[in-house]
Amino acid sequence: MRRAQLRGALILGAAVVLGVVLLAQGDDFVDVSTAEVSAGQRPTTTTAPATSGPATTAPTTAPTTAPTTTTTAPDGPRPPAEVQVLVLNGTTRQGVAVANSQKLDAADYQTPEEGNTAPRPNTTIFFDPSYEADARAVQQALAVPAAFEAMPDRIIDGDGQNVATSDVDIIVVLGEDLPQG
């Protein structure tokens, strides 16, 4: 039991010494809780040069701009004119891809020539990871039920050919769940 008491006394003594040292150097610290610093900036401390006479110097806080690199997706969707959307017909109905591609054209999306793919039960919107907000905006523009998935390496069209997924940002594959009309 005596060892625990000795250890506690040593820790308490070290804390007191540290506190005294910090208090003695207290003039060198700045209270950043009152400093106004914008996002992406950090406070820096500057001290006015010493002058002859009894004048004292006080630390001041000035914001400096820290370099930033943004690699995240935008908060919302991009302007439609900046988004490439390929529409593929995965239903047994004729003209579905053309009609939906025209809806996106009217909303100012960039739409390469639409195509066909093997019939599928559900509409799926494939998107590049940085285009998730745009994929959701495309779904709203088309007013279709849809599942969302990351862009695959390849999609096979109705002729058995690979669709170049790297040429577009979003691919809409319309499925049999697409409402009639």
Q: Which CATH number covers residue 122?
A: 3.30.70.2390
d(CA 84, CA 126): 12
Q: Which of 113, 110, 108, 141 is nearest to 125 (CA)?
A: 141
* CB neighbour list of residue 89: distance below 8 Å, 6 or more residues apart: 95, 96, 97, 114, 115, 116, 117, 158, 174
- The tens-digit pLDDT sequence of the chain (181 residues) is 566 676 776 677 666 665 655 555 554 433 333 333 333 333 333 334 444 445 545 444 444 455 544 445 557 899 999 999 999 999 999 999 999 999 999 999 999 999 999 899 999 999 999 999 999 999 999 999 999 999 998 888 777 778 778 889 999 999 999 988 6
* Full-model pTM: 0.59
Looking at the structure of the chain, the number of domains it has is: 2
d(CA 89, CA 96): 6
Q: Is 60 a member of any domain? A: yes
